[in-house]
Structure 1
Amino acid sequence: MYRPHPFSWVPGAEQRHATIDDRPPGGWRDGETVTTLCDLSIQAETSELAWLWDTCPDCNAAAHVLAQCPMPPPAGAR
């Protein structure tokens, strides 16, 4: 399976998290346990609404490091 980065995104625990766990074909099923880049063990949620949750800031920072892409400056920063 093509994976452009060494991580994937998965909603759970009321946020979107990143993980380096192997993503199953077709994605995670509801309730599957996933270890996140912020060191949580979460239950995956697959609803459309879950993908609209806020992104975990710790996972976001770790994902940017793994992608070798610097974090953008905060909104309104000069």
Structure 2
Amino acid sequence: MTATSSGLVASSHTLTLHRNGTFERTGWSGASMANEIGGSQSGVTTSSNRPGASGRYKLSGYRLDLTDASGRTKP
């Protein structure tokens, strides 16, 4: 009996900084998996978009702080 398994994970994230001090963040993630056991195959594929975010940014030296529309700041 032969058993094989394979998988793939991919993601893309984009952060756009505008000169007026605002930012936009978008992205997606996906995964795929396949199995074969004794000639029987099964698999699953899934993907989703990351919820977009926007707000204001502040650059201070090497530190970038992002403040979203709800007021939360992430360094």
TM-score of the aligned structures, taking structure 2 as reference length: 0.21
* Structure number having the greater helix percentage: 1
Which of the two has higher C-alpha Rg? 2
